[in-house]
Amino acid sequence: MEIRNGISGEQAAVKTVLEEGDTSLPPARLGATGQLAIELHSLSGLKEVGCEVTYSKYFSRESCRCDFEIGTGQTSLDRELEKHLQNFHLAERSNLVFSVKLEPGMNTRIKTNIATESRVTVDCDISIVSLDNADPVYRWFPETKLDKARQYYTLAVDLFKKARYLDSFYLFQPAYKLSVLASGITESSKKSEGKNP
């Protein structure tokens, strides 16, 4: 079975299911943890993959097995992979080909006038070996949302200190959103929303 995702041809991802997983269980969600088996076939389209692969927690290893937590990706490659993992079931094995736009100029202290942008195409076989799935976010307790917000915020601050500004931005965003969701809407703000000035 072949599944195509994406907004345009440039951003398309092609997933070919090689072995069906346990479809009686929901696919991996935000916050899910477990172990992946990745067999990388090719990483192409960029002359200097360098930092993007070096910092990647999925593609920088010799070993084909690694732990994952959806939502904690710290590079463009990791974030894109985690997005696609949310369409995977436990024990499923699929070939995934996806493309990622890299903006290395946004992850540096050095200011440049030239907008450097590159695209990397990844071709790999992925299997979710173990999965501890998370509840949907709307079912999370406020404490769980705050804990996740703190986790993302801590990761984002660490990346920001390393001048990886774009990567930190993608973790500051969910940290902020989860902290707002955890605090909820108070009665006084509900009443003030209903009044017109």
Residue 124 located in a structural domain: yes
86-142 residue pLDDT tens: 999 999 999 999 988 877 677 777 765 545 667 888 899 999 999 999 999 999 999
52/144 same-domain check? no
Residue 197 located in a structural domain: no
CA distances from 194 to 59, 105, 183, 189 (A): 50, 45, 20, 9
Residue 196 located in a structural domain: no
142/81 same-domain check? no
Would you give the DSSP letter of residue 135? Answer: P
pTM over 0.85: no
Q: Does pLDDT of 84 surpass 90?
A: yes
- Average per-residue pLDDT in the chain? 82
Nearest to 15 by CA among 118, 92, 68, 119: 92
CA distance 176 to 38: 31
Residue 93 located in a structural domain: yes
42/107 same-domain check? yes
Cβ atoms < 10 Å from Cβ of 142: 13
Q: How many domains does the chain have?
A: 2
172/106 same-domain check? no
Q: Which helix (H) or strand (E) holds 76?
A: helix 76-85
CA distance 49 to 74: 15
18/48 same-domain check? yes
Residue 110 located in a structural domain: yes
124/152 same-domain check? no
124/157 same-domain check? no
Residue 195 located in a structural domain: no
Amino acid symbol at 116: T
37/54 same-domain check? yes
Residue 165 located in a structural domain: yes
Domain coverage including residue 173: 137-186
110 is written with which tokens? Answer: 């050095």
125/142 same-domain check? no
Q: For the residues 13-17, what does the mean pLDDT come to?
A: 92
151/128 same-domain check? no
85/182 same-domain check? no
CA distance 12 to 176: 29
CATH assignment at residue 81: 3.10.50.40
Order of strands across the sheet that contains 65-69 = 2-5, 13-19, 93-102, 118-132, 33-44, 65-69
148/127 same-domain check? no
Decide if 155 contacts 78 (C-beta within 8 A).
no
162 vs 4, which has greater pLDDT? 162
End-to-end CA distance of the chain: 56
Residue 43 located in a structural domain: yes
pLDDT of residue 8: 42
